[in-house]
Amino acid sequence: MKIVVLDGYALNPGDLSWNGLSALGDCVVHDRTAPEDVLARSEGAEVLLTNKTVLDGACIASLPDLKYIGVLATGYNVVDVEAAKARGIVVTNIPAYSTQSVAQMVFAHLLNITNHVAHYAREVHEGQWMHSADFAYWNTPLVELAGLKMGIVGLGHTGMATARLALAFGMEVYAFTSKRGNELPEGVHPVSLDEVFAACDVVSLHCPLTPGTRHLVNAERLSKMKPSAILINTGRGPLVDEQALADALAHKVIAAAGLDVLSEEPPRSGSPLFGVENCYITPHIAWATRAARQRLMGIAVDNLKEFLSGHIVNNVAL
């Protein structure tokens, strides 16, 4: 059986092993694959694994040997699932592998914003503390999380993990979720979307990207937030209207934003958020701890093993 990994570098830049896949067939791993090379590299493959390389309907139709597509991520919009389904091709994804890592990044951003960690590390290296008249040195407000209201939009795996961390910090947690109140952990209060934005000190986005959630955070919703509020997005870039957020930060409509995702990745054409004060952007790395990537690799191998044994799991082409 021929197994082709089209873009393996993000998952495994060299610190993990492909041996689990290699044990299942003749495995060829490409670090990256340009769109014009997808067909040539996929020819003859019964199994394709992709992270962000697009497999559209025309491509799928041109691969008669293809039986299985494994998406090396939770989101599977890079695959034309309907085209695969029409051909009887199984498409699997990797759910919930990065839950703890993403929740950790939410608080990495939040603590950086409230405690100005990067700012003070830089100030110390530049000698500001050394020349301070006092034993302690600070030139920004420092904010305690305990007692603040954390609003969570979407209470799936990562939203729930974020809620638990917020409770551990002594925050009050409010969530916009389809879950009923009796399904929520103690201390998590279901509220409307408008209440999340209007009442909370921190709003963290954990909902999927759909036509209905694109630009969920827009000028109108930002205008409902407190001037001291913080927006965190570790979900999907297009959940946020970036120009509206840039304007809101520039005009002090809200206090700060911490983002691990943008609408265009990588942002080849730049972003209206670049250079905006109190906007902190990391390059889509919340998912990328070694522990999370190791889980992803293990689930990808298990998904394929199950398929080969006739028991399909995590199939999104239903």
> Which run of H or of E encompasses 3?
strand 2-5
Is residue 230 within 8 A of residue 255, CB to CB? The reply is: yes
Residue among 236, 242, 293, 295 flagged as catalytic: 236
Is residue 173 within 8 A of residue 150, CB to CB? The reply is: yes
Given the structure tokens 């001291």, which residue do they identify?
Answer: 228
- Separation CA 45–CA 79 (nearest Å): 16
At 241, the amino acid letter reads D
Residue among 46, 214, 284, 306 flagged as catalytic: 284
**What is the maximal distance between C-alpha atoms in the chain?**
74
- Angle, alpha carbons 78-81-86 (nearest 5°): 145
* Close Cβ partners of 279 (under 8 Å, ≥ 6 residues apart): 245, 246, 249, 256, 257, 259, 273
Q: Is 265 part of the annotated catalytic residue set?
A: yes
How crowded is the C-beta side of 47, counted as CA atoms within 13 Å?
Answer: 25
Residue among 122, 220, 265, 290 flagged as catalytic: 265
Q: Is the dihedral of CA 267, 269, 275, 236 positive or negative?
A: negative
* Active-site residue set: 236, 265, 284
